[in-house]
Amino acid sequence: MSQRHYNLFDKLINGADRALRTLTPDTQALTREVPQVSQPDNSEALSDQERKHSAGLMRVNHAGEVCAQALYQGQALTAKLPEVRQEMELAADEEIDHLAWCEQRLNELDSHTSVLNPLWYGLSFSIGAGAGLISDKVSLGFVAATEDQVCAHLEKHLQQLPTSDYKSRAIVDQMLIDEAKHAHSALDAGGARFPAAIKATMSLVSKAMTKTSYRV
């Protein structure tokens, strides 16, 4: 079977399409349904303060997924080996569900996605493309280190989300499982293990993103 080869122009158009769909609400097709909850939905019982707090945390998670899309797209653009490129594109596809689940939950909580998402997309895309230009090993290592940090964030969010916000908790539970899998597969594919100093710098950057996205 012949495989289609994309030139730089095709890739740029595809990248622009993906960026627009990431940043425009209701434009992503789900491959998996929103994680179900066993308890009856009691979102109505959440106090205004709890609802606001849940929305802030889910907005941070949504912004994180925007960053993941951009990072993987940037990396796919500059990855050297075709299998690494494919791995990045597959991971980006899996992240689309997370993006859509968080967006849907934000709507249910009568809230909105972060107005800063285009900024996060641009920054993350550049970082991903830069990492891919250095080497596939660094690029994959960056995925592993990023996903580790995302897992740490999600674990913190599970402690902070109102206990009765079953729907948000079910989404975060499933995301945690998926992100841990992404971190493992990036290392298995040959990713470098990043030193603690680089991880500490990355965590400063992600703190800026989480602090601002919680509010706006």
Give residues in contact with Fe ion (CB under 5 A): 95, 98, 179, 182
- Cβ proximity to Fe ion: between 46 and 113 the closer is 113
Distance separating alpha carbons of residues 99 and 61, to the nearest angstrom: 8
Q: How far is the CB of 173 from Fe ion (least distance, A)?
A: 13
The encoded tokens of residue 18 equal 């993906």
- Cβ proximity to Fe ion: between 101 and 166 the closer is 101
Distance separating alpha carbons of residues 201 and 88, to the nearest angstrom: 23
Q: Cβ(167)–Cβ(43) under 8 Å?
A: yes
Q: How far is the CB of 124 from Fe ion (least distance, A)?
A: 12
Q: Cβ(102)–Cβ(62) under 8 Å?
A: yes
Q: How far is the CB of 44 from Fe ion (least distance, A)?
A: 28
- Cβ proximity to Fe ion: between 18 and 182 the closer is 182
83-108 exposure pattern, b = at least 16 Cβ within 10 A, e = fewer: ebbebbbebbebbbbbbbbbbbbbeb
Q: Residue 12 CA to chain centroid, in angstroms?
A: 21
Q: Cβ(61)–Cβ(103) under 8 Å?
A: no
- Cβ proximity to Fe ion: between 46 and 70 the closer is 70
Angle at 113 between CA 107 and CA 114, to 5 degrees: 160
Number of C-beta neighbours around residue 154 at 10 A: 23
Q: How far is the CB of 87 from Fe ion (least distance, A)?
A: 12
Q: How far is the CB of 97 from Fe ion (least distance, A)?
A: 8
Q: How far is the CB of 95 from Fe ion (least distance, A)?
A: 4
Contacts of 188 (CB under 8 A, 6+ apart): none
- Cβ proximity to Fe ion: between 136 and 179 the closer is 179
- Cβ proximity to Fe ion: between 164 and 203 the closer is 203
